[in-house]
Structure 1
């Protein structure tokens, strides 16, 4: 019979979330990964000392301070839930994140578009210390035990991967999508990316020619395919949640929560790009019926078995990917991309973009692995 500590190590979602947070920080810190060069006239000692910032805005200060707080908190939680001593986990989280920040600031000096500084590193380290301390306080007060008890009531044991994907879903929605909830790469963006990768690859001339001659989707999607794409985009995370959520009213609550988070995040994205007065510009006449359709289909599956939800999730996510790939860029989408790529979100742009592109693929992999496993916990 496994010990309580072993059980917590098995079911904790802190470890995959901590790994995801570290990867996102590295990506956001080193984006756009191009034009690497040694700073002119700088010695290795000067690089290691880090420069002072020419100027910093309030947004940058708070972003640097808050950016590492959740990372350190998750690292601490993952260590403690994995059986580590709390004080060692606190040191590992605070010092480890500070060292990670220093490595990122040091590396950024080889990227001309970035502006590393000692101030950024100090703010990152302070945020990491705050995050690790708050996580330790939460554990001390028993909040994590309450969370674990609630999670055991709501979700099956092997739910860490799905919960991590569900938490990442709103981040992908922050990057402008071809249609509401339409995560995944559109064909035009995918075509441009593949051509950039293959332009200097020997032996890829035929594939490059085929890509150049492949016409992009012409015109707008008709109303029916667009409505179906919106509904599938909202239904996909609901089905992913159903795989690990216990049947019944809990699934209904999770579906409503996913819909609310999706609507709020998409509204936030529009507000950040165009201002609060245009926060609801993305709400077309098709959105409400499509959302009701998705929630209605989800309601019919409240009592379905987890494996059936996984199989349906594979089909729904795959169909949604195909519709997104066929969706052309509309004026709203083009203006959104311009705002992200030329505004203050340039460094966040790449991270949210890749989460939005890769989320459906990661969900497909997790669902396929769940179906292939014979150890899925049956519903009570």
Structure 2
């Protein structure tokens, strides 16, 4: 007898997305993770009462409310899709998100740059109530079943992790990249991070000396390496999508969607940094030919079996990482970084940077881990 609530187990993308959303909340709440200290003269009981805000800004109030809506919705959806009863799990999602918010506000009191408050906790909790309620409403109205039906028609079994990565891809593109669509750490940024990490480590002198003697490339990329980097940057997510998308016209839609989304997000990033008048400043003469090349290669894979696409995806992402790491830091890239690190994006800098750095690595590891379990075309169930 079917479960009237529709709560049966699925390998849902809601679960990895829920974990990602919780991680985003923790990161955004505790960034920049420096300057920890116990507030002078405060007892633990006083800290747990949370202070009232000194000033109330509408933006902060609404940001705290809206920020927890998708998190609670994903937590509720992940539980219900995993077989939990919708009613009790609604209560769990709300209480869990409220406790998470309280923990973040409590911890922020040990970070001098942050300003925790009881009002933030209340607005986060209200957002959690709204998010869990929206998820329950979607379940009640059958929207989740419609999504599952569409997903079964479009994607293979066990596609949740790849779909979560594809949804995170444009967020990584919001952080300035060494070249359009080129995710991953450049050598200049990687070198700075390693030197900061090892500067006080005993016995790391030789590594530090090697890093100092390996300066990052200077100048600008020539047309061919830049075109290859852009093409690989678009081809990587296309192939990741193809691995979990059923062969044929659906892969065409995924490739075109990736191209439109990638170019639109890059345009948005430039507009946020330099203003709408300079939104297309990143559009060099090689961008369009590179995208056409990437889509042409993707077109050859429209009916290729999943394992073959995965192997090509691993090679593509590896080559893309190597090209991005060798890309010089041009003036546009340096100016973009300055806008993020010193301007209005300071609170999102660390999170967006790590998404941009780690996305190709995570996608590569997902493809490598699932290579042996991918089902060839013709053997995929229903």
SS of 1:104 mapped into structure 2: helix
Q: Which runs of 5+ in 1 are unaligned?
A: none
- Give matches, 1:14-25, under 5 Å: 14-25=14-25
- The superposition leaves residues 46-86 of structure 1 with CA deviations (integer Å, 9 ceiling, x where unpaired) of 21111222224333222211111111000000111111111
Alpha-carbon distance in structure 1 between the residues aligned to 2:163 and 2:4:
21
CA contact 2:5–2:85 (8 Å) conserved in 1 = no
CA contact 1:166–1:241 (8 Å) conserved in 2 = yes
Alpha-carbon distance in structure 1 between the residues aligned to 2:105 and 2:376:
43
Q: Look up the match of 1:26.
A: 26
Q: Which runs of 5+ in 2 are unaligned?
A: none
Which structure carries more helix by proportion?
1
Q: Look up the match of 1:108.
A: 108
- Give matches, 1:46-85, under 5 Å: 46-85=46-85
Query: Displacement, 1:271?
Result: 1.6
Alpha-carbon distance in structure 2 between the residues aligned to 1:323 and 1:284:
17
Q: 1:337 to 1:15 in 2, by over 3 A?
A: same
Alpha-carbon distance in structure 1 between the residues aligned to 2:280 and 2:62:
27
Query: Displacement, 1:140?
Result: 0.4
- Give matches, 1:123-162, under 5 Å: 123-162=123-162
Q: 1:379 to 1:85 in 2, by over 3 A?
A: closer
Moved more, 140-149 or 327-336: 327-336
Q: Look up the match of 2:205.
A: 205
Moved more, 10-19 or 306-315: 10-19
Q: 1:186 to 1:16 in 2, by over 3 A?
A: same
SS of 2:115 mapped into structure 1: coil
- Give matches, 1:184-263, under 5 Å: 184-263=184-263
Alpha-carbon distance in structure 1 between the residues aligned to 2:167 and 2:74:
13
CA contact 2:7–2:80 (8 Å) conserved in 1 = no
- The superposition leaves residues 178-220 of structure 1 with CA deviations (integer Å, 9 ceiling, x where unpaired) of 1111100000100111111111112211111111221111221
Q: 1:278 to 1:62 in 2, by over 3 A?
A: farther
- Give matches, 1:282-293, under 5 Å: 282-293=282-293
Q: Look up the match of 2:311.
A: 311
Moved more, 335-344 or 256-265: 335-344
Alpha-carbon distance in structure 2 between the residues aligned to 1:374 and 1:281:
41
Normalising by structure 1, we get a TM-score of 0.95
Alpha-carbon distance in structure 2 between the residues aligned to 1:317 and 1:126:
41
Alpha-carbon distance in structure 2 between the residues aligned to 1:117 and 1:255:
45
SS of 2:371 mapped into structure 1: helix
SS of 1:347 mapped into structure 2: coil
Query: Displacement, 1:155?
Result: 0.2
CA contact 1:158–1:376 (8 Å) conserved in 2 = no
Alpha-carbon distance in structure 2 between the residues aligned to 1:7 and 1:97:
21
